[in-house]
Amino acid sequence: VADPVAASYDVATQEMIKRAQDLGVETCFDRAVTLKPCNIGNQGTCCKNCGMGPCRLPLPKGGVEDGDDRKGICGATANTIAARNFIRMVAAGASAHSDHGRCVAEVFMSAARKETDAYQIKDIQKLLQIAPRLDVAITVERDGEVLDRDIDEIALEVAEVALNEWGKAEGELKYLKRAPAPRYELWKKFGVLPRNIDREVVEIMHRTHIGVDQDYKNLMKQGTRCALADGWGGSMLATDLQDVLFGTPYPLQSEANLGIMKKDHVNIIIHGHEPVLSEMIVAVAQSQEMIDYAKQAGAKGIQMGGICCTANEILQRHGVPLAGTFLQQELAIITGACDAMVVDIQCIFQNLANVAKCFHTKLITTHPIAKMEQDNVLHIEFDEHHAVEDAKRIVKLAIDNFKNRGEDVVIPQHKNPVIAGFGVESIEYHLGGSFRGSYYTLNDNIINGRIRGIGAVVGCNNVRTRHNEAHLTVVKELIKNDVIVLTTGCNAIACGMEGLLTPETAQVFCGPGLAEVCETVGIPPVLHVGSCVDNSRILLAATEVVKAGGLGKDISDVPAAGSAPEWMSEKAISIGQYVVASGVYTVFGTTFPTSGAPVFQKYLFEDFEKMYGGMWDFEPDPIKHAHKMIAHIDKKRKALGIDK
């Protein structure tokens, strides 16, 4: 079994791993000890795209300096195999984000058509802001007079145009033009403007089939096009339409870590990604009817908590506390206090069902595309047309289950306050100029050196490295060196658990320049900007920085760097690729899936900089990782002539 202290940096997590072991319940931390990864697959050089293989191409003992004659049965080189595997990861990741986006767009369509009472257009300002980006007019001309167009009409057209982005026959994605003009021109020059979201994924599957594309550069061209369809397409549409349906987040206060669960409350943990379902559950669980029902059942109330990106979605819009990161999902059940865990899509361990079997927890799957084979799992399929009824059924199930709790409940007493809910709009509010209204204050402080640059630190946990340690070390090292951090996904949750998402953090961890700015403005040095699809907010924030002036003409000019210290999902690879192609130097930790093909890897790590101004890098040591980012930021400062 795993050593709890070696497995996680977080004390609550350590306590729950220990408890699981005492109870004889196996978790991913234990499996990581017994299940070793395949080194060849890990390095990207195992090809299983046909029935003649798998062809495994280990790195030769002496390296590949004197040439590399490794090949598979068909002759595919290590570069071809690694590039195929890499862009298949991009395809899977882009699909996950974009299918989530499509689902939101479909609910948006139902709301626009008024087919559902549960969902309405909540944020009209945001609707009016995105409509022109989709070439939907917000005014009409009648008799020479310019009039505001009917909101319902605009919503319907936005829904139609947005949904069309997944499968239109001609043209290119409309949001690409939201990028700075030189960036758009660069994509055009390299032939990587995505046509529609689905097509770019399909083309990856075709090109990586046996005997099709056998040039790693050409394969990566499609990988880039597909990743851009994620970042500036599916993910950005998901964020925007969610904001219109559920409200654009603004800073609010909450808490993070397993300690948010309450012994005397009905605890409902929502885990997954699409806020379509969780929005309803939150609304229903807060209703007086359900609170009364919970009290009748002997509980003091209902405590909601989130895991993974669902957590970030309901945190940023409703202040629902974060129960934990990706690697804490089993542990929430191991408290013995989880009356129901509701899951939808992505990042959900199948082992949750095995853990739930050892406790009273009802595990409920809700999405038609994500079920579990174990027979103790309930499936309540969620549909926007009867969303409130579904949510009520789920919340009632949890309340009814409260009485079945065992005596043995242990909730770790660890949690920290967080401020979350930042975004393009609120950063402008806090760090904009009072007269100019753009990102003037932020830019000004970067130019004068109080803020050295911007770090975007995001992504998963990976059980192959100590839970949260790399996340927190990278972030602390960046803010210590006056780099302001934007965070999403499980990194944001890790930062919340550690207490880094509060303005008070500034005095403790920041360099003097960043501390001064944070204290003056009253913001944390680490800004939680949402879930992983909300990395699109980071792309748009970077674009706003370019627009505000003084820091170059393109995203690649800005003193900024990206990082995913503990990544593990294919989604992270898609994100990394669109961030790189948007001009940002991006460092991944833990492992890198192309290390078995050094020539291809060099293409990603070095040649990409000449093409896109942004490139990949890999550094498992978190301090070195942060300093690679800082070195890149300094290089950009120097190029801008603002290095003092």
Binding ligand NFS (rule: CB under 6 A), the pick from 571, 625, 628, 632 is: 571
| Secondary structure class of 71 (helix, strand, coil) | strand
Q: How many helices (H) and strands (E) does the chain have?
A: 28, 18
Query: Residue 324 or residue 336: which is nearer to ligand NFS going by CB?
Result: 324
CB of 362 within 8 A of CB of 339? yes
DSSP string spanning 435-448? TT-SSHHHHHHHHT
Query: Residue 105 or residue 575: which is nearer to ligand NFS going by CB?
Result: 575
Asked if 347 touches ligand NFS (CB under 6 A), the answer is yes
Name every residue whose Cβ is closer than 8 Å to that of residue 234 and which is 6 or more positions away in sequence.
94, 97, 98, 99, 100, 101, 102, 166, 197, 533
CA distances from 294 to 228, 303, 343, 587 (A): 46, 10, 21, 47
Closest CA to 317 of 268, 278, 259, 288: 278
Interatomic CA distance for residues 251 and 628, integer angstroms: 31
Asked if 532 touches ligand NFS (CB under 6 A), the answer is yes
Q: How many CB atoms lie within 10 A of CB 71?
A: 14
CA distances from 122 to 108, 151, 244, 427, 642 (A): 11, 11, 6, 21, 43
CB of 538 to ligand NFS, least distance (A): 13
Query: Residue 459 or residue 524: which is nearer to ligand NFS going by CB?
Result: 459
Asked if 569 touches ligand NFS (CB under 6 A), the answer is yes
CB of 110 to ligand NFS, least distance (A): 24
CB of 531 to ligand NFS, least distance (A): 6
Query: Residue 308 or residue 484: which is nearer to ligand NFS going by CB?
Result: 308
Asked if 529 touches ligand NFS (CB under 6 A), the answer is no
Binding ligand NFS (rule: CB under 6 A), the pick from 259, 489, 499, 511 is: 489
Asked if 309 touches ligand NFS (CB under 6 A), the answer is yes
Interatomic CA distance for residues 97 and 530, integer angstroms: 14
Asked if 276 touches ligand NFS (CB under 6 A), the answer is no
Residues binding ligand NFS: number (CB under 6 A): 12
**Per-residue binding letters, 435-474, with ligand NFS (x by CB under 6 A):** ------------------------xx--------------
Query: Residue 195 or residue 273: which is nearer to ligand NFS going by CB?
Result: 273
Asked if 89 touches ligand NFS (CB under 6 A), the answer is no
Asked if 326 touches ligand NFS (CB under 6 A), the answer is yes
Interatomic CA distance for residues 397 and 127, integer angstroms: 36
Binding ligand NFS (rule: CB under 6 A), the pick from 332, 490, 497, 579 is: 490
Query: Residue 15 or residue 566: which is nearer to ligand NFS going by CB?
Result: 566
Residue with tokens 């360099």: 511
What is the DSSP code (8-state) at residue 335?
Answer: T
CB of 489 to ligand NFS, least distance (A): 3
The binding site for ligand NFS (CB under 6 A) comprises 273, 308-309, 326, 347, 459-460, 489-490, 532, 569, 571
